[in-house]
Each structure stands twice: as structure tokens, then as C-alpha cells.
Copies of this chain bind each other. A is one copy, B any other.
Amino acid sequence: MTAPPRRSRSTEAVAFYQATFGAIVLHRVGEGEDIVAQLAIGNAAFWVARAGSAGQRVHPKAVGGATGRTLLVVDDPDAVFGQAVTAGATPTAQPANEHGWRLARITDPSGHHWEIGRPLGAWPPP
């Protein structure tokens, strides 16, 4: 038996966002753990990169939390929440109606925090 190839944390993160959120990879530069990848979920672009002390970019798992979280607006928050948990995310709030939203929260396998929601009224607000 051969061991499976070691995958970097950044590469795993990209795979999670592709499989769970339907992200597409717009650009990817570098190799192994040193990739910088630009992804998009619909029109929302974001980047995945390695933590590094030079830029004070800290890894959520190294500091026991996140300094921000991202709201992902989707048609079916319950379904996306379920996909995320199946793919290894930690549920932090089950889907519920809250402040005019259908809203759930997860911590993804990299330790980043996401809200997954759908406004129950018009969005953006008029």
C-alpha cells in the first residue's frame, strides 16, 4: 500500500470550498502548502493563503477562534449547512429563523467561521 499523497491545509481548504459551497477556482499560484488560490462563490471572490507571521496572518486553529466571519447568502441554507457538516465542518448554530433571516453557522475544517443564510425579506434592504 502506498500512503495517500499529503495534502496541504490550503489545498484541503480549497477542496472543501469547492465541494461544499460550489466554489470555482479562478486562479491558483504556487505549490503544496504555499499556494495562493482565488476562488469565487457566485459573484463573491475570495482568496485562500497560508498563515504567515510576516503579514500577521494567523491560523484560526492556532489562536482558538477567528477574528471575523463571512456571511454566505444562499437559496437553501439548511441544505448547504448539511453539506458543510457532512464534509467535516463543525456546526455552531443549527438553521433557525433569526432577525429576519434563515441562518445557520459553522466552523469549517480550517477553523474559519461562516454564517450560511437567506434573507426572509428583500435583500439588500431597500
A interface residues with partner B (beta carbon < 8 Å): 26, 40, 43, 45, 51, 53, 55-60, 63-70, 92, 107, 111-113, 124-125
For A57, the chain B residues whose CB sits under 8 A away are 65-67, 69, 113
Majority-rule SS of A interface residues:
loop
Smallest CB gap from A111: residue in B? B67
Measured CA separation A88–B59 after assembly (Å): 25
The answer on a CB contact under 8 Å between B65 and A56 is: yes
Number of copies: 2
Measured CA separation A97–B35 after assembly (Å): 21
The 9 closest A-B pairs by CB, nearest first: A56-B65, A58-B65, A63-B63, A66-B67, A60-B67, A67-B67, A68-B68, A58-B63, A58-B67
A124's partner among B45, B60, B113 (CB-CB below 8 A) is B45
Measured CA separation A57–B107 after assembly (Å): 11
